[in-house]
Every structure is written in structure tokens, then in C-alpha cells.
Amino acid sequence: MFDSTVPGGPKLHSPAPYTANGFSYNAQGLTNDFELILGGPGGGSQADLGPTSATLGLAYLTHGGYRAVPTAYNDGGETGETVTGATVAWASDSAGPAGVAKYGVLTNGPTVLRGLWNAAGPVGATRVSLPVTPGNAWYVFTPVATSAALGNFLVPEPVVVPAVYGTTFHLTPGTYKVMAGLADYTPVSFTLTVGSSPIAQTIHLRLNLLEGIYTALWAFLNAQLAALSYWGYGTTASPYLLFSNQYAPLSPVFGVYNDYVFPVFPGIFFHGTTATAYVYGGGSRIAWTNTWQYPGPYLPATDALQSWFWDVSHIALVSSSFSGWFGSSTYYPAVFDTFNGIFYESSHDLVAADNFTTAGDALLLFSGGTIFGPVNVGGGNNTVWGNYFWEVAPPASGLAVSPDWSGLDVGLGLAIAEQDDLIYNNWISTPTTAWMLPLNLYSGDPFLYTDTWNISVQSASIVHHAKGFPFTPLVGSITHGNSQGGNYWWDYGITNPYNGAVNPLGQLPYVENAVTWIVYIYGPAYHYASFLDNGGDYAPLT
């Protein structure tokens, strides 16, 4: 609440405690201003917006009603939870929220920093339609400062936008350089001069395997999986074989992060696909770190991006490598978006013969759920076989990345919160090996899952296959022994120095009963917790 200085309003009786004008700084070194933010779900995380339509009013209340702030920009500061895919333009009429005369208009498109009202930004946004084939291509928009006035408020950084969310954008008037491209397709570049009239331009990309992987791989339809493959028909007998020929790190437009160093884009993101497809010899996409945003110059030069699989089936990750680091301020073991690989609400998938060298959390599989109703909806019946899980030290940099709290090594290899998975013949050497969560991660409701961590002890020469993947023989022992059965746990038979778990030889099933980590995170009220429960190994490979 501020004292009014509006002409004709109440007199100012005492100085306001501070002035919110965007130029005055508080004791924390942050500007005193008004902000209306769009954010991710918490913990410094990131959200990507699809097709969007909204109006935003940023105003203060006077004796005569709401009055728009004197000037505005479509960018904020010190906001850990952020979004991409939002174009914020402005309008000046009577249609604003609560009658505000000047207001923001939110649509989907590139997030370009501009001044809005009274900050030299042009009013309005123009519809630009850019249909592209294949439909999961990427656009890179680079705004061009076309006048001295706009040059003061327009940041000419390239901004990447995925076509899977739509190909119609709303751009504020000005000039843009645009690149449309997709891994293993020849990119197309052109210039757009945006005025007040709608623009439509159709783009066709040509397959060219010499290009290699230079964009992230996203697919929301089976046909989009086909566009990312060099062979196959998406069936059990003829699966899609996806591109794996990355010759150089991805452009730093894919290595962007938010204020809390949370990565913006996963390198692989499949959503809702059902065709059979192999990510073979691929895995985490390496991208250059974005150095033009703080604290880029103080971070490692590259990062391995996440891999997300949401509501998919018949995806095989085989002989691939997964890694990556996060800013230390974004990593909490109780927040489950900092895993290198995530399967959410996905069934009948295979993770086999992969190498997870994580600087934090490696692999998470969890079911869907509803807030007011069933808590175990979707997900499960996946096979995890023959994988290595290691923790590696985060790369050296001027700032902290990945978890290392007070010398406590808190890396986690495998987390499961879904039903009926088969998990065996894996080598798990992360400080805390695995966690069977006793709750639904979507809703937070308690739930005890039942998964299988063994097959009957038998000769290592016997060949098995996960259902739907006849071309991937599951044969041999992760320890190169003569038998196959359960998993190899590095701390079986010792007291784990990182989390206090005690697993004496001969005690079966194996259960990772961590004591230190859970106290560190949740406080002294919790002295003991079973990380691996409702399963474990009745036949550990030792």
C-alpha cells in the first residue's frame, strides 16, 4: 500500500517506505519494482508454454480505480521459476483486465526482451503463420534493432521455439532473422519484416544426414518420431531407429537456463507416442552453455541435456549414455525434475545396456495420478536391464553446480514410483543406490508399489527379451559372471559411508535403509527411511 500522489487525491502524509520504480535497489541488491510473473512449478524449475492467450494487467489501485504502472517491460528479474514460449506485447484500449487502459497481451512465440508502453516498444502484435515440414522442427528467432529508439530496449539474442506447440506466432512489429531447422535436415534461413498485416510462409526441410544432430529431438506424434529416424516403420518387426549422429555440441540457444541455473530444454522429449522406436547409441544431447546470460562465463562450457519420456510406450533406450549437471540451487532430492532421464506415465518401455554417469540424479520412472481420485494412473510394466549407474564429480566452474552439500555426497541412481517394472542385472554404484518411493509423485498420496528386482538365478547364457523388443537380447551378467539374477549393489555387505545404510552380507532382500541423507533433507524429525523397499534383491549379483 502506497500513499497516493495522484493530482486531486489524498495528500501525502508521510514518505512511503520505498519507491517502486525499477531503478531503486533494496538491501539485497534487487530492484524495487512491480512484477507479474509466469513461472514453473517451484524450486527454480522451468515450464514451456504451448498455445497461449491471456491479458495481463500490471496496475496499482488509486481512489479512481486501477491505473497502469507508468512504464513496463516484458521481462523481470530474480525469478527462479521461469517459462519459455511466451510473447508479451501490449495494447492500449478499454479491453484490459479490470479496465486497465494499457496492458500486456500474452500469446505463444519467442520471448524477446522489449519495452512496452512508454518504453519505446511498438504497440500490438502481428499474426505470423510459419507451417513447417516436418512438424517437429525448431525455429530460431533473432530480433534486429531497426531504429535507435528500439535498439535501447530490444535485446538481439536468438530465441529458440519448438514447432510441436504450433506454428502460428504473434510477433511485435520489427525485423527478425529466422532459422527453421531440425536435426539431420538442412536448415532454412530468411528475414521477416513484421508490420501490421498478417504473414504466412510455408517451409519444407529436406533430409540431409550429413547435417547431424544440431537441434533437440522432440516428438509428440508417431509421425514426428518417423521424422527423427533413418530407418524403420515404427512396428515391432521394423522399429524406428532414431538419429544418433551428433557431431558437435548443440547451439547455446538449446543450452539456456533460468536464474537458478535450471536447464530450459531437454535434449530429448517424446510425449504421447506409441510407435516402437530405438534411441540407440544416442542419449543425452550435449549443448554449449549459454554464455550471454549470467552466470554463463562462470559455468562449465557444456552440459548434457535431460531426456524426457511422457505418456509414451514402446521406446527403447539401448547402448546410450546419459549425464548432465544442474545448478546446485536447483537440486533437492525431494524435487523430481532433476534427473538425467525421466519416464512419466509411460509403459512397456525398455532401458537396456545404457551408461548413466550422473552429477546428481540418474533415472526416474513414475506413474501418473489424479489429485481427487485414483493415485496410480498410467505408467509401469517397463524393463530396466544391464545398465551402469555412476556418480561423477560435476565439472569445475566458478560457481557451484550439482549437489555437494557440506561434503555430503547425495547422488541417486534409480528412483521408482510405479507398478510392475522389471529391474535386474544392473550395476548401481551411486552413493545412494535406489529409492522405491512410498507415494504417488503426481498427487503426493501414499502408495506402496510392487516391482520385480530379480529373475530366478540361472545361467548367464540364457537369452531373454522384453516384450515388444525382439531385436534386443537380454543376455549375460553385468558382473561378467556365470549366472544372472538380480542387481549389483556396491554397498551390499558394508555400511554405506554416505547415507548410513547397513546391508550385511547374507541379509536378503537387499534394502537401502538410508539414515543420514533423509535427516539432512527433512530435519531431525526423520531419523530413518527405507529408500529401497517393496522389492530389493532376493538374488543380488555379487
Q: Which of 208, 231, 256 is the last residue of a domain?
A: 208
Residues 179, 294 share a domain? no
> Which domain covers residue 450, as residue numbers?
212-542
Residues 448, 412 share a domain? yes
The reported pTM is 0.92
Q: Under the phi-then-psi rule, with left for phi > 0, alpha for psi from -120 to 50, and beta for the rest, what region is 264?
A: alpha
Comparing 111 with 232, the larger pLDDT belongs to 232
pLDDT at 531 (0 to 100) = 64
Residue type, 189: S
pLDDT band at 223 (very low <50, low <70, confident <90, very high): very high
Residues 250, 196 share a domain? no
Rounded CA-CA distance 433/283 in Å is 21
Residue 496, in any domain of the structure: yes
Residue 348, in any domain of the structure: yes
Domain count, the chain: 2
Q: Which of 208, 226, 252 is the last residue of a domain?
A: 208
Residues in the chain: 542
Instruction: Using alpha carbons, select from 501, 492, 504 the residue that is nearest to residue 519.
Output: 501
Rounded CA-CA distance 402/523 in Å is 21
Residues 300, 157 share a domain? no
pLDDT band at 513 (very low <50, low <70, confident <90, very high): confident
Taking only the tens place, the pLDDT of each residue in 52-105 is 889 999 998 877 788 899 999 888 776 667 888 889 999 999 888 988 999 999
Residue 8, in any domain of the structure: no
* DSSP letter for each residue of 168-215: EEEE-SEEEEEEEE-TTEE-EEEEEEE-SS-EE--EE-EE-GGG---S
Taking only the tens place, the pLDDT of each residue in 126-150 is 999 999 999 999 999 999 976 666 6
Q: Tell me the backbone φ, ψ of residue 297, rounded to 5 degrees.
A: -60, -15
pLDDT band at 525 (very low <50, low <70, confident <90, very high): very low
Residue 519 pLDDT greater than 50, yes or no: no
CB count in 10 Å sphere of residue 465: 14
CB count in 10 Å sphere of residue 407: 5
Helix, strand and coil percent figures for the chain, each rounded to 5: 5, 35, 60
Residues 254, 296 share a domain? yes
Residues 248, 161 share a domain? no
Q: Which of 208, 239, 257 is the last residue of a domain?
A: 208
pLDDT band at 283 (very low <50, low <70, confident <90, very high): confident
At 72 the three-state DSSP class reads coil
Residue 5, in any domain of the structure: no
Comparing 390 with 441, the larger pLDDT belongs to 390
Residue 162 pLDDT greater than 70, yes or no: yes
Average pLDDT rounded to a whole number, residues 485-490: 92
Residue 427, in any domain of the structure: yes
Mean model confidence pLDDT for the chain:
87
Rounded CA-CA distance 123/281 in Å is 49
Residues 538, 409 share a domain? yes
